[in-house]
Amino acid sequence: MNSLTASLPSIPSLPDSAPRHVALERHRAVDLPYASFVREFVAQNRPVVVEGAMRGCPALAKWTPEFFKQRFGPKQVQVSYAEQMTFAAFIDAVLASREDAPGPYMYRLFIGPHLPELLPDLEPLNPYAFPRRMASPLMLRPWRRPDGYLKLLIGGIGGRFPVLHYDGENAHATITEIYGDKEFILYPPEDAACLYPKLEMPNHSSIADVRQADPVRFPLFAQATRYSTVLHPGDMVFVPSRWWHAARALSPSISICQNMYDASNWSGYVESLCPPASGLRALKRRAKKAYLTGLGHLLSTLEQRPRHADAPTTGLAARIGRLAPVTSAEAGDSGTWPVADWKVR
């Protein structure tokens, strides 16, 4: 057992009669090296909050509701799947939001293709949110996203993501708070049956609001273990694959969301992209599965190559390293990203 493992508190087992509520584990970035974060949390599919994850990021001092209204006021933005508004009207609704009358919650704005001028505000990039294999040029094109499908999330008091869910395609997720405070709630994968997944969309819960779940309609919900925390500016929560989660703004709130793939969630990613099929479709899916399975083995091998802080940034070794980057420094900054070619999924 290494020193970090020894210092991490274990999650207590709760008797059946106790409230199933656990405070989410938190660590300061200065006390949690990135390699330890990957080993102890990402590889173990274990959630954690990293405090002070975005050191030196201009957005922390710059991004406010007023900033977005003044800079992008007349711009039409996609707030949700069904709703578009001007940024000015949206921000007015956010600032008017109340617990008893929550305003809209933005969750469909992808910064790269929609507002690329914001990318420099996020550098230096949060190292803990690095999307890992999504930054590899060997990934299939829809998932070749060194930004990790970076999304902007904005809501006012009481505003929340519309559904308790886990991210599709077995993805890990990170949510980093930029402005304001946000309550974050998670439930582990083994409690899925207590969360009543929808038949037509099994990564979405039928429970509309976990704070007001109907005990008659959802009797098993009381047996689910709830992990909760409050995110403050600079905090990042790591949400492992298949962990159910929901968020609620406690004040006007601005945050960003990214996805991540690596060896820990790769097999589930492959299975989600290659479900059983028949005929010609089956042949195509088998070919895709063979490619992704082989790619996973190759990336695992390349990721284990020794890295040196003073290694040259050019030459064969550097080119090989960029095939399987394990840090944002190896993947390049946002100025190298082909944002004009990116599509919204």
- Residue at token pair 């590889």: 43
pLDDT score recorded for residue 309: 65
What's residue 343's pLDDT? 80
Whether 1 shows a pLDDT value over 70: the answer reads no
Mean pLDDT score across all residues of the chain: 90
Q: Where in the chain is the domain with CATH 2.60.120.650?
A: 17-267
Q: Would the pLDDT of 192 be above 70?
A: yes
Question: Does residue 308 surpass a pLDDT of 70?
Answer: no
Q: According to the model, what pLDDT value does residue 311 have?
A: 61
Mark 163-172 as b/e (b = at least 16 C-beta within 10 Å): bbbbbebbbb
Residue 305: pLDDT band with limits 50, 70, 90: confident
Tens-digit pLDDT profile for residues 91-135: 999 999 999 999 999 999 999 999 999 999 999 999 999 999 999
What pLDDT is stored for residue 11 in this prediction? 38
- Confidence (pTM): 0.91
Give the pLDDT mean for 38-48.
Answer: 98
pLDDT at 141 over 80: yes
Homologous superfamily of the 17-267 domain (CATH): Cupin (2.60.120.650)
Condensed to tens digits (0 to 9), the pLDDT of residues 220-251 reads: 999 999 999 999 999 999 999 999 999 999 99
For residue 340, is pLDDT > 90? no
Residues in Cβ contact with 194 at an 8 Å cutoff, skipping those fewer than 6 apart: 187, 220, 221, 222, 223, 224
- Return the closest-CA partner of residue 65 out of 232, 234, 252: 252
